[in-house]
Amino acid sequence: MKIKIAGKAGFCYGVRKAVELAEKAAGENKKPIYTAGPLIHNQQEVRRLSGLGVKVLSSVENIGSGTIVIRTHGLPKKTMLKLRRKALTVIDATCPFVKRVQHLVEKLSKDGYNIIVIGEKNHPEVVGLVSYSSKPVVVVNTEEGVKRLALPPGASVAIVSQTTQSSEKFNKLVSLIRKKYRTAKIYNTICNASNERQKAAASLAGKVDVMLVIGGKNSGNTARLNDICRKRVKTYHIESARDIKESWVEKNMTIGITAGASTPEWIINEVVAYLSRNALSAK
């Protein structure tokens, strides 16, 4: 059995920085320490941080004191303003790429543009992006969604993307939108880390017998990697080594591994170790 790992896999810069900030706050005993929703979309890593004293809140309404670490996806603008008015230490771990898109949406809406976001309407990053517009925002994620766009033909339109969106989907939907709004301004705001991971996963998937995509089931960027790999080879989306079934792999196979931007190195290493240990017993 051969095991190959994609050239780009696992933590991106923004996620690594957020985890380091949370660990630093815990190490300096700045307790209680909270995050508004999970810091990242990886329940195993969130559980590890919980063991250090970093607690996940479903709502920030009743929080009065302590330290709050802002999740990598960012928070709605009004929520951020509320938190800064409280007697809290606010550590902003919003991904720099996400923050850049927040500012872009804010500026474009002030300049009179109708914003179209290509992404998942209920994803926390997109919820945050929408809140920075001074005008109503339309979120689309499918060709049907584009068909339903009801902005007048002459409207000033600007298109941005969820930072973890698939480049393939972004380009396809942009092409359809431009048929309706020919003067639309296009801003490809997919982050470099997402692009790099998608390209590396696609390349590796074409050279192996099976792909394992490691990451949270609620992770948008991991879902995109899974979709990309599935088009090329038999692919399984797992959260950890314990999800692997013996029937998936055989002794003479080449196994490819990639991982979402919220997947820590220790989980990737556990998967590799599991496969290595079980290689001899595989059929």
144 is catalytic: no
User: Of 274, 257, 224, whose CA–CA distance to 10 is shortest?
Assistant: 257
Q: Cα–Cα–Cα angle for 261, 265, 267, nearest 5°?
A: 95
- Identified catalytic residue from 125, 143, 168, 250: 125
First to last CA, the chain: 10
Structure tokens that stand for 109 in this block: 């809406």
Structure tokens that stand for 217 in this block: 């089931």
Q: Enumerate the active-site residues.
A: 125
